[in-house]
Amino acid sequence: MKLSSPRAKLATAIMVAMGTALASTGSLAVNLSDNGLGEVGIVPYYTVRNSFDTYISVVNTSNQYTVAFKIRFRESDNSRDARDFNVFLSPDDVWTAVVTMGPDGQTPVIQTPDNSCTAPALSEAAATMPGMRGVAFTNIGYAGGSTVFPKDPGSESIERTQEGYVEVIAMGVADPADSSLAAAAVHGPNGVPANCGQITAAYLNPDQGNEAFVNQFSEPLNVLKVDAYMLRVDQGVGTGLPVTTLGNFFNPNVVEDPNNPADDDLMQQPASELPNLGSADPVSDQVVEVLGAITDFGFTTGYDAVSSLMTATAVINEYAIGGAALAKNDWVITFPTKNFYVDTASNPGAPVDPFEEAFKAPGQSCVNVAYNYFDREEQFVVPPDLCTVDPTAPQCNLNFSPRPPDLEPETPQSAICQEVQTLSFADVSVLGSGNNYGVPLEAGFTSGWMRLQFPATDPINPTTTPIQGDFTYYGLPTIGFSIKTLENGVASTQGVLNYAVTSPHAYTRVVTD
């Protein structure tokens, strides 16, 4: 039996067992936010390649609490840490920043004109523009030198950090009326926080350290709004990025009371690799209260719970190239929890289902894919169900390029091999990704839609509970979007206006009992 969601199965089971309809309070564990507010925001892509800059903003919509969050930039090949730090937003505050290419033309820099407190404090010396403060990205998370993660089998080049994805994870909240550290982040009439130095000094004080924040901050609340967009100034191209927002990410006591947050929190030192997407608590993607009884759909790990929200057996979107508007089109495919399953530093048992291959030299962890595409008049090259049923069929041999070196030329399958990659539908990639795979299109198929399938993935199996049974989540945890650039084609005397549009992917999701 296939279900649209675990909650549907729960409701059915309860009604059958008790013969009556019972009210439910809804999800009390990590879930995909339906209102744009949450405790975690995942930006599927950042880049400084091809002259793009990536802009990020985080809004604290609470008018009562100071919010502390971790912002982490993960590089594209293996999701190793490229740079992260802590940010403190006072009530009604917003923090904005831009990721841009540094002065050496190789190393990205995140910088901001914002006065909101960060730990560590950002430096004017690291910024590329006057009035900005920033910090450069680093390769020590994968090239050696990290106290947490050893060198991985991939490249040591800083170029790995030139694109990737972003995690914004709320660590805790505190009322400035009750917390001196929360009050230190509150802005005065001049728009400057009361005392950012007090926050950094507390972390550095051996008698205080992170424990001072643990004592004053409570569990995160669903009050963050995360936005992002990309801009290429030299071509006048800009477009928004779809953000995946997770609510109730950290709810260790199950019930969340905004008027009295629980004492538990996720506060960590700025240099800590925690919290991350494996820090979800409880380790479930649904906790439902029915007549006072708590039933949860449990997993072994927090990252399994997060992954189950994003599993997809296929990614679906439109594409278009050429034409009067000179369209170019890329897809971004991001696996935001893949590192937990393929990196032996994160998981000594890697590879772990649902991924097939551990991260290895020369810097890849490949998953087999198949795809079929249609034009705008229902015509297709590959029968739409063939590659799902038999991905080894010769007709499915529409291979991406470059072909991973571990796949033999006669292998009738395609593969994509990074944590973040792009699929390009034209000879020139819009984003100029270092992990770009070309999609060869047959003549006459310049626009339409495509289905990218993950035909050979093993499922994520949550643990069994008395009501829930054993649900199976198929596919790979996937997010992303399509970006298309166009020119308006007006006369040269008027200039040619460029513009870009993004479209979030659609997904086929399969959950069985």
pTM reported for the whole predicted model: 0.89
Look at residue 461 in the predicted model and tell me its pLDDT.
79
Whether the CB-CB separation of 458 and 353 falls below 8 Å is answered with: yes
Higher pLDDT, 169 or 292: 169
Cα–chain-centroid distance for residue 340? Answer: 13
pLDDT in tens, 69-85: 999 999 999 999 999 99
Strand order in the sheet with 237-240: 133-136, 108-112, 94-101, 53-60, 224-232, 237-240
> Tell me, what's the pLDDT at 427?
79
* CA 173 – CA 255 distance, rounded (Å): 16
Distance of alpha carbon 145 from alpha carbon 148, whole angstroms? 9
Whether residue 436 is predicted with pLDDT greater than 90 in this model: the reply is yes
Name which of 220, 221, 222, 240 is nearest 230 in CA terms. Answer: 240
Residue type, 227: D
Q: How confident is the model at residue 507 (pLDDT cuts 50, 70, 90)?
A: very high
Query: What is the model's pLDDT at position 10?
Result: 36
Q: Map residue 158 onto helix, strand or coil.
A: helix
Strands (E), 253-378: 284-290, 293-298, 311-312, 314-320, 328-334, 367-375
Tokens 């709004």 belong to: 225
Q: How confident is the model at residue 177 (pLDDT cuts 50, 70, 90)?
A: very high
Could you report the per-residue pLDDT of 183-199, keeping only the tens digit for each?
Answer: 999 999 999 999 999 99
Residue 402 DSSP symbol:
S
Q: Is the peptide bond before 282 cis (omega within 30 degrees of 0)?
A: yes
Domain boundaries, the chain: 38-246+259-276, 308-512
Dump pLDDT digits (tens) for 3-16: 333 333 333 333 33
Dihedral sign for Cα atoms in the order 195, 59, 220, 84: negative
Phi, psi (rounded to 5 degrees) for 261? -60, 145
For the stretch 268-312, pLDDT in tens is 999 999 999 999 999 887 776 655 566 666 788 999 999 999 999
- Helix 196-204 to helix 209-216 angle (10° resolution) is 120
What pLDDT was estimated at residue 471? 77
